Chain A
Amino acid sequence: RKEVEQDPGPFNVPEGATVAFNCTYSNSASQSFFWYRQDCRKEPKLLMSVYSSGNEDGRFTAQLNRASQYISLLIRDSKLSDSATYLCVVNGGNYGQNFVFGPGTRLSVLP
């Protein structure tokens, strides 16, 4: 079993749609959780950290369920500019050293 698994994708959605990404992780000792966004041929960039209480940033909402070892990302009112690959990332190291990246889910928002 892979350490971090994500929906295989790709997701093709119309503008304005709501889309949800799911992620599961196997290391119950993981301490930090993130969603990164990666545009084609560019580096990954932090979209948002994920906190136990859940957090929201504009159209983006992230949820964490430690008991189920499950992370989600919800994008509301999708824009063309949201088209990218979304990476689920967990970190289990004591000093932030053990980043484990999911394979990513590609999103295409269509006009």
Chain B
Amino acid sequence: DVKVTQSSRYLVKRTGEKVFLECVQDMDHENMFWYRQDPGLGLRLIYFSYDVKMKEKGDIPEGYSVSREKKERFSLILESASTNQTSMYLCASSSIYASGGNTEAFFGQGTRLTVV
């Protein structure tokens, strides 16, 4: 059974703290993604990575950074947490090789982050 695992389901942090969200996938996927999901705004891409040490900005990268030192692990870092970063964070992975040509995304269970 394929799996994307996020380190925490729920997290409460204080304004100004440095926050690390970890994501691990066991499918040997090349692509990994970080999204945030907010009511009425849908899923928005923060960063993605297509290979180890490679990263690309998504639609809303401000206030975030990422790290991919190993193929299976993709970390999202909030350098200085702010209350407007309170959200549901979803990690996903996908392969660049897919049978039938459809490269679906597999999601982790999500981390609900509250910044107080």
Contact = CB atoms under 8 A, between A and B. Distances in A.
B79 interface: no
A18 B103 CA distance: 29
A101 B43 contact: yes
Contacts of B88: 41
Interface residues on A, range: 20 to 34
Interface in B66-116: 88, 90, 92, 94-96, 98, 100-110, 112
Interface stretch (A20-28, A65-73, A76-84, A91-99): A91-99
Interface of B: 30-31, 33, 40, 42-43, 45, 48, 50, 56, 88, 90, 92, 94-96, 98, 100-110, 112
Interface of A: 31-34, 41-46, 49, 51, 87, 89, 91, 95-97, 99, 101-104
